[in-house]
Amino acid sequence: MMTATAPRQAGSGNLLLLLLKLRTFIALIAVFAFFAFAAPNFLSAANFVIMSKHVALNAFLAIGMTFVIISGGIDLSVGSIVGLCGMVAGWLILYGIDLGLGWSVQFNTIEICLIVILVGVAVGAVNGLLITRLNVAPFIATLGTLYVARGAAMLSSDGRTFPNLNGNPEYGSDTFRLIGTGNLLGIPISIWLLICVGLMAAYIANRTPLGRHIYAVGGNERGAALSGVKVNRVKMFVYMFSGFCAALVGLIISSQLVAAHPATGETFELNAIAAAVLGGTSMSGGRGRILGTIVGAFVIGVLSDGLVMMGVSSFWQTVIKGLVIIAAVVIDQAQQRLQARVALQAQAATA
């Protein structure tokens, strides 16, 4: 009797487990199917391009955030880094760097991008140093840099917008607009960038020792350290990578809008966290997948764009987004319990 029933139980458990594991994907398909019927023009190619551009912004931040959360931390500063980096890009295009005595250095697009990325990574490094060297809790450290970076962005222009970032062909910065608006093979540049960063992040997570170490640090920092994992280096990397992703978003937004506003990116960090959680990342660390996060970002993005197209009030959108996140976490808990039970059953069968 036992031998007859045990495999069947395990089998149905495995099927349910598979469904639960794919839940973000299933949710995405469900959202898609719903809006395909409910919202006019939802399935048009033009709409897809617009939607994916929206989603990309959040997805970049969410990818960086996923690493941070897997390592057991949190990065609240990404939204502010977006704003700051946008302002840095705007400043460089409009003024270059003033050396005094009427001299200034101007930069071409590539150089501007590199400098802006450097700024983003540097803010991430500050986060990392605060957390690893000065033992500040990640929540507090990144909350601090959130304010500092936002304040710095405001100071850079006295709170005004840098308008008309068209660049100057003489300096080679006129191509800046292409980052946000250009296309390659009919697909926006920002989407290509997202594909590159996403693949790179997934590769790091799955196929490099660094990725394995990120999971280990988030799962058990003491155990990881005793196994020879350089915990501080791992933490530095995740915050710097998160800063890098935020800098990319800053560049893309300022290029898309052809302007830089210091308040850009407010509350972006919350959307990024939401996408990561929706994608199955555990806030207590050690668990999460890059692909899951990207799908999570798409669920949130498609949901809000689709609701707009249906004409649902933005207040209701916020409520619905919140409910979806809560539901995701509740299902995640169920999956964890089921997964543990299936593993225990299989183990009991061997013993």
Partner 1 sequence: MIGLQIRDGTKVYPGTIALKSVDFDLHMGAVNVLVGENGAGKSTMMKVIAGVEQLTEGQILLDGSPVTFHGTDDAARHGIGIVFQELNLFPNMTVAENIFIGREKLRGGIDIDAEAQRRETRALMRRLEQEIDPDTPVGELRVGQQQIVEIAKSLAQDARILILDEPTSALSAAEVEILFRVIADLKRNGVGIVYISHRLEELIRIGDHITVLRDGCITGTRSMEGVDVAWIVRHMIGEASKDFAKEIEHPFGEEVFRAEDVCLPRAGGGLAVDHVSLSLRAGEILGVYGLMGAGRSELLECIIGKHRHAKGRYFVNGQPLLARDVAARIARGIALIPEDRKNDGLVQILAIRENMSLSSLGDFTRLFHMDLAAERARVRDFVERLRIKIASTEHAVSSLSGGNQQKVVIGKALMTKPRVLLMDEPSRGIDIGAKAEVFRTMRRLAAEGLGIVFVTSDLDEVLSLSDRILVMSNGRITAEYPRAEATETGLISASATGHNHPREPAE
Cα torsion through 251, 252, 258, 261, rounded to 10: -60
3-state secondary structure of 104: strand
Which residues from 300-339 bind partner 1, rule CB under 8 A?
339
Amino acid letter, residue 241? F
The full length of the chain comes to 351
Question: How near is the Cβ of 5 to partner 1 at its closest, in Å?
Answer: 17
- Residue 131 in contact with partner 1, rule: CB under 8 A: no
- Residue 106 in contact with partner 1, rule: CB under 8 A: no
Residue with the two structure tokens 């970049």: 60
Q: How many residues bind partner 1 (CB under 8 A)?
A: 31
- Residue 8 in contact with partner 1, rule: CB under 8 A: no
- Residue 207 in contact with partner 1, rule: CB under 8 A: yes
For partner 1, which is the closer residue by CB, 282 or 304?
A: 282
Question: How near is the Cβ of 298 to partner 1 at its closest, in Å?
Answer: 26
- Residue 212 in contact with partner 1, rule: CB under 8 A: yes
- Residue 181 in contact with partner 1, rule: CB under 8 A: no
- Residue 20 in contact with partner 1, rule: CB under 8 A: no
Which CA distances in Å does 307 have to 53, 109, 295, 324? 17, 37, 18, 13
Alpha-carbon gap, residue 82 to 269, rounded angstroms: 10
The CA radius of gyration of the chain, in Å to the nearest whole number, is 22
Nearest Cα residue to 80 out of 156, 146, 160, 144: 146
Q: Roughly how many angstroms between the first and final C-alpha of the chain, as a whole number?
A: 18
Among 144, 287, 310, 312, binds partner 1 (CB under 8 A): 287
Beta carbons within 10 angstroms of residue 195's beta carbon: 13
Among 79, 286, 296, 301, binds partner 1 (CB under 8 A): 286
Q: Helices (DSSP H) in 158-285: which residue ranges?
A: 178-181, 189-207, 209-219, 221-226, 231-257, 268-278
Beta carbons within 10 angstroms of residue 117's beta carbon: 20
- Residue 21 in contact with partner 1, rule: CB under 8 A: no
Selected range binding partner 1 among 156-164, 165-173, 217-225, 290-298, rule: CB under 8 A: 217-225
For partner 1, which is the closer residue by CB, 101 or 351?
A: 351
Question: How near is the Cβ of 317 to partner 1 at its closest, in Å?
Answer: 34
Query: Which residues are near partner 1 by CB under 8 A?
Result: 207-210, 212-213, 215-216, 219-220, 222-230, 282, 286-287, 339-340, 343-344, 346-347, 349-351
